[in-house]
Amino acid sequence: MNQQAKKKPSAGRIILIALAAILVAGFGALGFLYAKLSSMRENVVPVTSKPTMHAMATPAPEPSLTPIVGTPEDIDEDHDDPVETDEIGEDPIYNTDAIDETVINILILGEDTRPSEKNAGRSDSMMLLSYNSETNEAKLVSFLRDTYIYIPGRARWNRINTAYRFGGVGLTINTINENFGLDIQYYIITDFQNMVKIVDMLGGLELRVTQKEAAYINKYMQTDPLPEEEGTYVLTGEQVLVHCRNRRTGDGDWGRTSRQRQVMLALFNRAKQERNVSTLTSLANELLQYVRTNIDAATLVQLGADAVFSDDFTLKGGTVPFADTWKYASIDGKSVVTIDLEENRELLHDFLFGESD
């Protein structure tokens, strides 16, 4: 095995939603941890009124893109476009009226902040957790990081994940809200550096993997290799971490986001099986070290209680862009995903709120 094969992937660039699964589950039994929950709200991003003259009102023209026929050669690559220092800041979240009072929308971000670039971290994982308290149903929607979209407040087009580099969680939420007509006001952020501890505390996680996925995991593991054939195996925390970051088995970010949701569902189901106050408390204590949010403690506890202790709670997943609403294109020699914004907006609203013509 060569040196490159032995190198483990950066823990900061991993799945976001696996952590959120345990987060939501654990909080259901933790009313006595209100103080710790509240501490996660320190230095929250402010919510302010949207300026009257907002950059989204006069968007810059979409750059000329070159269509790509078939699968791009760089589908397995993560691209980062340069960002000027004067473009970087910490934007507030713009206040938006609720679309449906029974639905709460939370943006969950996995960040990768490089020490050499202050405030220039990126969001490699971006998911929307939408919960309907009336139907007791949750929706989990992945946003592909290469989706090419207009970034409000910066008057430019770019990959959707660069919004986090430009203006942090505030600009990321504003970008999604304005492009897709949503009402996100809440967020959960983590760097996932200690995700392995969570999985190992649960005794591993049972997942079904393909032959390619098993081989990819083994490439980064020095011990405990998986059989390199399709099957269901109990993965360690390290193996789950690698699995969730994988976009190098020919399916790019489509595969990575699918694996993230697979792990989230497995973790959620595993947490529901516990229903043990002591275990859930230990998990929550571990999680609280790595999470930042602007959600109040009472809401977090209520969400957790609904998720873990309700027998009729359901969870569904999806991806933006939706099927048959996107195309590959190239800009500056790098591939991006262009989308039919209007169609994706309509499909997303129908998925989240049950809206349809």
Q: Quick one: pLDDT band at residue 310, thresholds 50, 70, 90?
A: confident
For domain 10-194+275-352, give the fold. Answer: Nucleotidyltransferase; domain 5 (3.30.420)
pLDDT over 60 at 349, yes or no: yes
Query: Residue 355: what pLDDT?
Result: 62
Q: What is the mean pLDDT of residues 280-296?
A: 79
Question: Between these two residues, 40 and 256, which has the higher pLDDT value?
Answer: 256
Residues 199, 202, 207, 212, Cα dihedral to 10° = 30
- Output phi, psi for 128, to 5 deg: -105, 120
pLDDT digits (tens, 9 = 90+) for 158-212: 999 999 989 999 999 999 999 999 999 999 988 666 678 888 888 899 999 999 9
Structural Rg of the chain based on CA atoms = 20
- 66-67 and 148-151: which strand pairing? unpaired
Residue in the block written with tokens 């300026």? 51
Q: Where are the alpha helices (DSSP H) in the chain?
A: 3-6, 17-27, 34-39, 162-180, 195-201, 211-219, 237-245, 252-274, 277-287, 297-309, 341-353
Q: What is the mean pLDDT of residues 148-164?
A: 91
Residues 138, 130 contacting (CB under 8 angstroms): yes
Query: Residue 319: what pLDDT?
Result: 96
| Domain range annotation of the chain | 10-194+275-352
Query: Residue 115: what pLDDT?
Result: 45
Residues 309, 312, 317, 320, Cα dihedral to 10° = -100
Average the pLDDT over each of 42-46, 79-83, 184-188, 271-275 and give the range with the smallest value. Answer: 79-83
Query: Residue 84: what pLDDT?
Result: 64
Over pLDDT 90: what percentage of the chain? 44
Q: pTM for the complete prediction?
A: 0.84
The C-alpha angle 10, 287, 268, rounded to 5 degrees, equals: 90
Q: Quick one: pLDDT band at residue 114, thresholds 50, 70, 90?
A: very low
Residues 77, 248 contacting (CB under 8 angstroms): no
The closest alpha carbon to 142, from 159, 122, 160, 127, belongs to 127
Distance CA 147, CA 161 (A): 8
Q: What is the mean pLDDT of residues 239-257?
A: 88
Residues 145, 253 contacting (CB under 8 angstroms): yes
The one-letter amino acid at 184: I
C-alpha distance from residue 231 to each of 1, 207, 214, 228, 261 (Å): 24, 8, 9, 9, 18
Query: Residues 352, 272, 234, 200: is their CA dihedral positive or negative?
Result: positive
Query: Residue 117: what pLDDT?
Result: 45
Q: What is the mean pLDDT of residues 88-92?
A: 90
The closest alpha carbon to 292, from 173, 174, 187, 197, belongs to 187
Q: What is the mean pLDDT of residues 221-239?
A: 94
157: Cβ contacts below 8 Å, ≥ 6 apart = 60, 62, 63, 148, 149, 150, 151
pLDDT over 80 at 288, yes or no: no
Distance CA 285, CA 26 (A): 9
What's the mean per-residue pLDDT of the chain?
Answer: 83
Query: Residue 153: what pLDDT?
Result: 83
pLDDT digits (tens, 9 = 90+) for 323-342: 999 999 999 889 999 999 99
Question: Between these two residues, 152 and 39, which has the higher pLDDT value?
Answer: 152
How many Cα atoms are found within 13 Å in the side-chain-facing hemisphere of 62? 11
